[in-house]
Homo-oligomer: A and B are copies of this chain.
Amino acid sequence: MNLNFRVEARCPDTEARLTRFRTAHGEIETPIFMPVGTVGSVKSITAHELEAVGASIILGNTYHLAVRPGIETLRALGGMHTMAHWRRSILTDSGGFQVLSLAKLRKITEQGVAFRNHVDGGLMNLTPEYSIEIQEAIGSDIMMCLDHLPPVDSPRREMEEAMARTTRWAKRCLVARKAEDRAIFGIVQGGVDLELRARHIDELCSESFEGFALGGLSVGESMPQMYDTVEFAAPRLPAGKPRYLMGVGRPVDIIESVARGVDMFDCVYPTRNARKGNVFADLGRRNVNVRNARYKNERGPIEEGCPCFTCRHYGVGYLRHLLISGEMLSGRLLTIHNLYVYLDLMRRVRLALRQGSFAAFLRAWRGGVAIGEVIC
């Protein structure tokens, strides 16, 4: 399919770029962050709230949705757009990552991955073809190829084998696609070995994928290793297609990766942290722990002037009370704020790129209030 991808602006000082493309469910401007809708909802919030915070694309997890409700029900219910009343775009992962992290009794062969799922122990055989079949049942606009992701510290020989298999599986995914108006992205592996990355990019990027992702990062390597790998790999991906850094991350990781040439991001970081009471302020540079006793009697919002639903209507003291009392409403209100901060940050990044001021934005962002400690 044709995403009508175009680069609308380039930062002259960094690898950052403003791009635009179109899926069957609307226009997407990048750099963009995709909230994660793990098992069919971005936890605790509705499609209306996602639209209100400015989301144009969300991520669905193929593994989770394949296990429950399962492919037949996904089809019967009309896929995730209809089920979740979400009108905009959906990207789905391949399921491979969750098979490795959640499922039991895995057996990887050239055919695919056989495993027992973590919910009811049911047996499933996730092949490249079946992954695409599930993703099509979900109604995904951007499907990811099933990849083989070895541990980050695997011997080079294993990394090479995984890369070669990932390439073979990726080609099978392209063949398996039935829905012609849906895109497929290939996933570049190679860990933090730049030579392997270069080789895999060469192998994969000659294939007719509509976009490319950097996989196998944010899985335990150090931050400098990740940044170096992104800095090396992102600009080597085809300039005429979207570039997606999977599973990243914190606001700082996103900003630094945009500067290194990445267009698309997803992570549970803002949503999972929100439910624990860890929220962001100051364009993601400041962390606020809502549980902190200092907020007990605070009537003001999380962030003064923040136009999100939560900050317009609720004070931190009340949010803290709800959180500490275990009230479900707290997770929802804090999620709305965190997603607003993330998506607002991305809007400002795009604005800076359009205005040709991204390098200045980057300096200001980096030089602002000290970025808090990791609150994962």
Residue positions of A touching B, CB distance < 8 A: 39-41, 43-48, 64, 68-69, 72-73, 76-78, 82-85, 296-297, 299, 313-315, 317-318, 321-322, 324-325, 327-329, 331-333
Which residue of B45, B73, B325 contacts A321 across the interface (Cβ within 8 Å)?
Answer: B73
- List, in ascending order, chain B residues with CB within 8 A of A313's CB: 46-48, 85
**In the bound complex, CA of A85 to CA of B69 (Å):** 37
Q: 18 interchain pairs (CB within 8 A)?
A: A39-B325, A39-B327, A40-B321, A40-B322, A40-B327, A41-B322, A43-B328, A45-B329, A47-B313, A68-B321, A68-B325, A69-B317, A73-B321, A76-B317, A77-B315, A83-B318, A83-B321, A84-B318
**Measured between C-beta atoms, what is the minimum distance from A34 to chain B in Å?**
18
- List, in ascending order, chain B residues with CB within 8 A of A78's CB: 299
Q: Closest residue of chain B to A76, judged by CB?
A: B297
Q: Is the CB of B44 within 8 A of A299?
A: no
- List, in ascending order, chain B residues with CB within 8 A of A39's CB: 321-322, 325, 327
Q: Which 6 A-B pairs have the closest CB atoms?
A: A76-B297, A83-B318, A44-B328, A85-B313, A69-B321, A41-B329
**In the bound complex, CA of A73 to CA of B322 (Å):** 13
- List, in ascending order, chain B residues with CB within 8 A of A69's CB: 296, 317, 321
**In the bound complex, CA of A146 to CA of B46 (Å):** 40
**Measured between C-beta atoms, what is the minimum distance from A238 to chain B in Å?**
37
**In the bound complex, CA of A297 to CA of B43 (Å):** 22
**Measured between C-beta atoms, what is the minimum distance from A81 to chain B in Å?**
11
Q: Closest residue of chain B to A64, judged by CB?
A: B325
Q: Is the CB of A76 within 8 A of B299?
A: yes
Q: Closest residue of chain B to A296, judged by CB?
A: B73
**Measured between C-beta atoms, what is the minimum distance from A64 to chain B in Å?**
8
Q: Is the CB of A82 within 8 A of B299?
A: yes
- List, in ascending order, chain B residues with CB within 8 A of A43's CB: 327-329
**Measured between C-beta atoms, what is the minimum distance from A63 to chain B in Å?**
13
